[in-house]
């Protein structure tokens, strides 16, 4: 039974908690959200969660942040949209701001690698535990399983994920039309993406220009956090506003802090123009996500009720699952490299699958402590 009446306070508490413990990037964040809002609290059904997850992949911006905003809109209306999004973002921004201040003051980042060492294998277990029920729900037919395999292969061939998403959707529509051409009238389908703005010529790093740089990036950026850093390199490093070492350190901060990786922008803004630069840069890069979700959210149910759009959404859903599996495999390759990380991963998987009601925060903290202990062996 799905619970409908959710207070704003409950939404705030949940997404603030997820913002604090959300290590591991978007795939891990979405896995934690699925565990909380579908498995534990029953705020959404698996299918509804999948539809929202698919919808976030159709628009630019940070997927996990947009997922939080979607859930807030579904359960708390316009207030929920704002509160869920802000509560998910603020912890990461606050922690990143502290690191930015320390970096500016002392010229280096604190050493926390032993704890991150154990968190990463634990995150893989959390993702696998959450994606398993979503995969079972999304693989509704042999055709969809075939599409998922194609997307997985495409991901390993380094094909851009947005091409894989829309490609899967349009291929499913084409197959549906071929099977019964007379029963469907396919109208033009325009993805919710913005045409990239022209490149910005930057003469000085004023706060106004910082705002427009990060607003532009937040409005057109599809893909992972690494794509974000490619944009930042082009916009800031190549123009002399930021040094490449500062960008590398910003990437490091994004990797070992919880919450959305876009919070790295807080670090960058602080290095350029202090606290004013940090606030303005952060607001600018996250603002488009709130706007896009506000526009898209009412359309998700209409898409599900339309046969053609439902077909498209089902294909996007299986593509989303396949991409998360691909991310998980890549994380495993990079992370599980010795007997210690193998042991942490196995123990975490046992807890993730064997104790479904266990809060994912305990797995994250357990992985961190276990990693720290094993690093001394």
For residue range 74-129, what is the model confidence (pLDDT) as tens digits?
Answer: 999 999 999 999 999 999 999 999 988 888 877 665 566 667 678 778 878 877 88
Q: Which of 17-26, 66-75, 147-156 is predicted with the least confidence, judged by mean pLDDT?
A: 17-26
pLDDT at 132 over 70: yes
CA distance 43 to 40: 9
pLDDT at 191 over 50: no
Mean per-residue pLDDT, 237-263:
79
Q: Which two tokens stand for residue 201?
A: 């010529």
Share of the chain above pLDDT 70, in %: 85
CA distance 287 to 131: 28
Q: Please provide the average confidence, as pLDDT, over all residues in the chain.
A: 82
pLDDT at 198 over 70: no
Q: Are 361 and 91 in contact (CB under 8 A)?
A: no
Mean per-residue pLDDT, 38-62:
88
Please list, in sequence order, all residues whose beta carbon lies within 8 angstroms of the beta carbon of residue 112, skipping any fewer than 6 positions away: 256
Residue 79: per-residue pLDDT: 95
pLDDT at 197 over 60: no
How many other CB atoms are found less than 10 A from the CB of residue 246?
Answer: 18
Mean per-residue pLDDT, 224-235:
68
Residue 288: per-residue pLDDT: 93
Residue 192: per-residue pLDDT: 45
Mean per-residue pLDDT, 11-28:
88
CA distance 258 to 255: 8
pLDDT at 43 over 90: yes
More confident residue, 338 or 204: 338
Question: Per residue in 65-77, is it b (16+ CB within 10 Å) or e — as a string?
Answer: bbbbbbbbbbbbe
Residue 112: per-residue pLDDT: 62
pLDDT at 227 over 80: no
pLDDT at 238 over 50: yes
Q: How many residues does the chain have?
A: 377
Q: Which of 1-10, 96-105, 316-325 is predicted with the least confidence, judged by mean pLDDT?
A: 1-10
Q: Which two tokens stand for residue 313?
A: 């959404």
Q: Are 148 and 318 in contact (CB under 8 A)?
A: yes
Question: CA triplet 327, 123, 314: central angle to 5 degrees?
Answer: 45
pLDDT at 363 over 90: no
pLDDT at 26 over 90: no
pLDDT at 148 over 60: yes
Q: What is the DSSP letter of 190?
A: -
Q: Are 51 and 302 in contact (CB under 8 A)?
A: no
122 by Cβ neighbours in 10 Å (0-12 / 13-18 / 19+) ranks as buried
pLDDT at 189 over 60: no
Mean per-residue pLDDT, 296-310:
79
pLDDT at 12 over 90: yes
């Amino acid at each position: 039974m799905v619970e409908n009446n959710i207070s704003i306070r409950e939404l705030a508490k949940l997404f603030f908690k997820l913002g604090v413990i959300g290590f591991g990037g978007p795939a891990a964040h979405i896995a934690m959200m699925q565990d909380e809002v579908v498995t534990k609290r029953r705020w959404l059904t698996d299918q509804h969660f999948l539809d929202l997850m698919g919808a976030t992949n159709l628009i630019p911006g940070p997927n996990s942040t947009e997922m939080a905003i979607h859930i807030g809109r579904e359960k708390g209306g316009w207030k929920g949209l704002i509160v869920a999004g802000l509560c998910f973002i603020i912890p990461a921004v606050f922690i990143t701001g502290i690191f930015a201040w320390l970096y500016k003051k002392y010229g280096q980042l604190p050493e926390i690698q032993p704890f991150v060492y154990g968190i990463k294998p634990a995150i893989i277990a959390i993702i696998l535990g959450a994606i398993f029920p979503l995969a079972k729900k999304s693989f509704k037919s042999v055709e969809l399983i075939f599409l998922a395999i194609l997307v997985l292969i495409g991901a390993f061939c380094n094909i851009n994920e947005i091409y894989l998403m829309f490609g899967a959707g349009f291929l499913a529509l084409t197959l549906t039309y071929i099977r019964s051409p007379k029963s469907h009238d396919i109208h033009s389908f325009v993805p919710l993406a913005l045409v990239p703005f022209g490149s910005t010529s930057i003469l000085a790093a004023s706060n106004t220009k910082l705002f427009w740089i990060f607003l532009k990036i937040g409005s057109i950026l599809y893909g992972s956090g690494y794509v974000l850093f490619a944009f930042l390199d082009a916009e800031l490093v190549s123009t002399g506003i930021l040094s490449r070492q500062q960008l590398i350190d910003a990437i490091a901060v994004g990797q070992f802090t919880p919450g959305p990786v876009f919070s790295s922008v807080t670090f960058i803004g602080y290095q350029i123009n202090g606290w004013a630069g940090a606030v303005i840069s952060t607001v600018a890069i996250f603002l488009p996500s709130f706007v896009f979700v506000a526009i898209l959210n009412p359309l998700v149910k209409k898409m599900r009720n339309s046969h053609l759009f439902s077909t498209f959404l089902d294909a996007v859903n299986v593509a989303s699952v396949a991409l998360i599996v691909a991310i998980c495999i890549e994380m495993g390759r990079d992370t599980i490299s010795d007997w210690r990380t193998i042991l942490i991963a196995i123990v975490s998987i046992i807890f993730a699958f064997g104790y479904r009601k266990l809060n994912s925060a305990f797995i994250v903290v357990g992985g961190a402590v276990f990693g720290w202990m094993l690093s001394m062996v």
